[in-house]
């Protein structure tokens, strides 16, 4: 269903571009330059700014999101319906390259819980009326999906069939 919606949107030739990076990396300056606006009067982006431009037959909706530390925790909220992420780096800011790398990796890394923390958070130990299991899996890579199905079938077989 999602691929159908994406294809329908691509027929309209519309794209959502998310522009992220540390504060003062140059995100807003890049957007202003693309929009042919004055780049000499740039102030920090508090929150986000959306600019739309027609480029080579495409309608580009560029989301310029502030890079201050206080705003970074909200970055993942902007990912929905995003077609492209542009990560902006100020290559002259040598002191913050480690911060930049950490933020990018943290942004792209899935926040998977361990079995222990997941089980504790869901209070699974208190469920004694049903059999349960925690199995790490990935819908994207297929990791452990077959194993999970095998567990489901085995559990159902044990409960439903006598032989």
Question: Which domains, from first to last, does the chain contain?
Answer: 2-108 (3.40.50.300), 115-160 (no CATH)
| 24 marked among binding-site residues | yes
Q: pLDDT tier at 1 (50, 70, 90 boundaries)?
A: very low
Active-site residues, by number, are: 68
Specify the pTM: 0.63
Task: Report pLDDT digits (tens) over 34-71.
Answer: 998 988 988 999 999 999 999 888 899 999 999 999 99
| 112 marked among binding-site residues | no
Q: pLDDT tier at 19 (50, 70, 90 boundaries)?
A: very high
| Rounded distance between C-alpha atoms, residue 76 and residue 58, angstroms | 25
Mean pLDDT, the chain, whole residue set: 86
């Amino acid at each position: 269903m999602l691929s159908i919606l994406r294809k329908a949107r691509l027929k309209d030739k519309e794209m959502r571009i998310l522009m992220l990076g540390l504060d003062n990396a140059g995100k807003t300056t890049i957007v202003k330059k693309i929009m042919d606006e004055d780049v000499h009067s740039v102030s920090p982006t508090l929150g986000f700014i959306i600019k739309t431009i027609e480029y080579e037959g495409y309608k580009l909706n560029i989301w310029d999101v502030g890079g201050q530390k206080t705003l970074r925790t909200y970055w993942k909220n902007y990912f929905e319906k995003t077609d492209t992420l542009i990560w902006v780096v100020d290559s002259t800011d040598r002191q913050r390259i480690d911060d930049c790398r950490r933020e990018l990796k943290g942004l792209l890394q899935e926040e998977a819980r361990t079995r222990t923390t997941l089980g504790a958070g869901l209070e699974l130990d208190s469920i004694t009326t049903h059999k349960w299991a925690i199995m790490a899996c990935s819908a994207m890579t297929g990791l452990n999906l077959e194993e999970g199905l095998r567990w489901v079938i085995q559990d159902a077989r044990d409960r439903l069939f006598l032989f």
